[in-house]
Structure 1
Amino acid sequence: MDHAQLRERLVEKLTANGSLRTRAWRSAAETVPRHEFLHGGFFRHLQGPASDAWTPVLDSDADWLEACYQDESLVTQIAGTILPTDVRGQIMRAPTSSSTMPSLVLRMLEDLHVEPESNVLEIGTGSGYSTALLCARLGDERVTSIEYDDTLASRARTALARQSMFPAIVTANGLDGHPESAPYDRVIATCGIRTVPTAWIEQTRPGGLILATISGWLNSSELARLTVHGDGTASGPLLGGQVSFMLARPHTPPALGLLPDLNEGTERETLTGGEILADWTTRFVVQLAAPHAQRLTIERDGHTEDVLIDIASGSWATVHKNDGRWIVRQSGPEALWDTVEEQLGRWHAAGTPPLEKFTVTVTPDGQTIHCIG
């Protein structure tokens, strides 16, 4: 099949699964060729014991074009600088940019609830594919997109120009927004954030919407849609779907460095075992209780331990199973696991509501997330 046939097949699939819900966004998806934003190739994950192994797929490879029109996220950069054309063989480093799966891109654009005259700020240009969809729907002059990485911004700008699209592409820290083109009617972020920046609220008209994925260092996240109010605050629900993006680079966790002495601290039995951290929703709730904690799993003394570490405060907790009982050991200024248990207790008392029952409120004093039912 040629790219037009592949694109039409993808559009039909996205319509059938509910990602495309309106005629206007279907028309945009039918117009924008995704492969044009993947010239230079992407990285394919290699299955096996090395979970971070990737190999390049170049646009000269036989399966490149069809892969561009699969409903999959395609990694386009690794380790902050490495592109597919830089690698021969494989590389074992972490991805830092990708072309998001089309179903999620279009689901978010539908959830953004744009109007024909909306001025939109996009945080995270990436490959430029979602930027192109916005341009096709609203026109270049109504789209401003910010990319943290200058190389990625330049590649996206070139790809957009090939489609005769010339939105404002800005290389900057997207968390600061872009006041020069404000105010905006809509803000959409294609990167994860720990907290919604006040700059986005300040640069959005009252009544405008901010769509962003709120995440954390325990790797659980959810899409939120906030309405900006005239008093400089914003609030709105989590939308559900276990949406996940790479964190904005300024929001990535610091390196753990040397581990504390896990033999120290006080030890007790707990009814809250480490298995709770395997569940997406529970982990999100835990993340609310310990927003600065990072998690790792280690094998020690013949058992598996889940470890939470807050390197800023120096607090830590480790949980493991011993003879069928869960044991927690913790140390530092804050008893991390006690805080986790208290948060989970309140959630269970409310009936363990799903994340769609949570709401986000952002004020000049900070961000809060709480259950509404």
Structure 2
Amino acid sequence: MTALADDLSRAGAIRTRPWAEAFANTPRHVFVPRWFKQATNDKGITVWREHRATTDDGLATIYRDHTLVTTLDPATAEQVDETAWTGVPTSSSTLPSLMAGMLEDLSVEDGDRVLEIGTGTGYNAALLSARLGEHLVHSVDVDPALVQAAQQRLADAGHSPQLVPHDGTQGYPTGDTFDRIIATCSVPAIPAAWIEQSKPGTILVTDIALGIEGGLVRLAVDEEHRALGHFTTTAGRFMAARTDERTYLTLQRPEHAPEAATRPTAVTATDIRGNYPFRLVLALHLPGVEFVYHVNDDGGMSIQIQQADGSWARIPTTGDTGTVTYGGDTELWKQAEAAWRWWNDAGRPAQDRFGYAREADGSAYAWHIPDGTRWALPA
């Protein structure tokens, strides 16, 4: 525990003594007795292989700066051998450096009441309890089984914060207000319930999923019920918030438009994959557009962006010269190229140079802080 805290402090994720002490005194292995790591079995099937904290190697893994998948969707999970399952992950123990960065960004002070959205394993609630006292920590998760398991683990670690099974996008079920709200799941926009359960000065830290990319935002709620702030230097993505305790909803997508043409482009896959701030800018220019990997007919891979009407554009992941193949709306990739030019002309700004706002009426926008360039976002 102390070694992990020291590592996170040296990396700059932990910046203050109270959080260093919280990490040093909170046993992660209590909250992650087992986890799943992706592997290929002897039949060539991609599986989630179970690991446990009962070995020296297991304990060493737990106290490294790794995200550990802890729960698989029971609707898709199928056991294929003694220690392996197929399926879709639905919960994890987050990268400790990401947790530390978010907790530091939360700027808690002694006496603050905190609401955590996404109890998960209970580890983050334990850290908050160690820092503030369990009576000030409230946490919700949509999965009652996760809440029950987290309560037991927290008790084993000497904490008993207020945990409730509840849809976190609806806030805390009693309607209380909080000084700080932290969400360890992603949302496409700030839910109204979070604003309703804030007060003037409440700090809110969450992951905003914008389609192609997203990021962590730190917002302050004002007297007019607006949440204003910026994307943070702490980068990371979370699993999407669920409104169902067992699985994610299946999205219905239209058929892809037929292939129209291939042409040269100044934007390459390396440009997109290697520059997180550019992906964020791309998401701002193309709200609601998805980013996926596409398997080509020759077995190669491409990066593909696609929109709800079936239009798409893709570029190969190999090669230094850019070519784009597209179908449907020819403007889709032109807008991506315009975003690339804008980002370069603006001096390639980092993600914390972008602000984020949710107005009292629920509308949302982002802006480039130095010059005020603004993008409307889905509410």
Q: TM-score range by the shorter chain?
A: 0.7 to 0.9
Q: 1:146 matched to which residue of 2?
A: 140
Deviation string 1:97-137 (CA, Å, 9 cap, x unpaired) is 11112222222212211011101010111100110111112
Deviation at 1:14, TM superposition (A): 2.3
Q: 1:22 matched to which residue of 2?
A: 16
Over aligned residue pairs, what C-alpha RMSD do you find?
A: 3.3
- The 2-side partners of 1:131 and 1:85 are apart by 31
- The 2-side partners of 1:185 and 1:369 are apart by 24
- 1:277 equivalent to 2:278? Answer no
68, 79, 89: which is aligned to 2:73? 79
Report the secondary structure of 2:296's partner residue.
strand
Report the secondary structure of 1:180's partner residue.
coil
| Structure 1 unmatched ranges of 5 or more | 1-6
- Identity across matched positions, percent: 31
Do 1:57 and 1:84's aligned partners in 2 also have CA atoms closer than 8 Å? no
Deviation at 1:29, TM superposition (A): 2.0
| 1:1-373 alignment runs, 5 A limit | 7-39=1-33, 41-46=34-39, 53-79=47-73, 88-178=82-172, 180-218=174-212, 220-249=213-242, 254-255=250-251, 259-263=255-259, 265=260, 270-279=265-274, 280-294=276-290, 295-300=292-297, 305-311=302-308, 313-319=309-315, 326-332=323-329, 335-363=331-359, 364-373=361-370
Q: 1:86 to 1:24 in 2, by over 3 A?
A: farther
Deviation string 1:271-319 (CA, Å, 9 cap, x unpaired) is 34454432322222212222322223231479765432223x3433344
Deviation at 1:229, TM superposition (A): 0.9
Do 1:56 and 1:85's aligned partners in 2 also have CA atoms closer than 8 Å? no
Amino acid at match of 2:231: L
Amino acid at match of 1:278: R
Deviation at 1:211, TM superposition (A): 0.7
Deviation at 1:178, TM superposition (A): 1.2
TM-score (normalizing by structure 2): 0.83
- The 2-side partners of 1:122 and 1:234 are apart by 17
Do 2:13 and 2:97's aligned partners in 1 also have CA atoms closer than 8 Å? yes
TM-score (normalizing by structure 1): 0.85
Q: 1:225 to 1:80 in 2, by over 3 A?
A: farther
Q: 1:253 to 1:271 in 2, by over 3 A?
A: farther
Do 1:222 and 1:240's aligned partners in 2 also have CA atoms closer than 8 Å? no
Deviation string 1:315-339 (CA, Å, 9 cap, x unpaired) is 333446999663443315x832233
The alignment covers a number of residue pairs equal to 362
- The 2-side partners of 1:212 and 1:130 are apart by 14
Report the secondary structure of 1:25's partner residue.
helix
- The 2-side partners of 1:46 and 1:149 are apart by 26
Deviation at 1:88, TM superposition (A): 2.0
Do 1:42 and 1:84's aligned partners in 2 also have CA atoms closer than 8 Å? no
- The 1-side partners of 2:278 and 2:179 are apart by 34
Do 1:317 and 1:335's aligned partners in 2 also have CA atoms closer than 8 Å? no
Do 2:142 and 2:167's aligned partners in 1 also have CA atoms closer than 8 Å? yes
Do 2:142 and 2:168's aligned partners in 1 also have CA atoms closer than 8 Å? yes
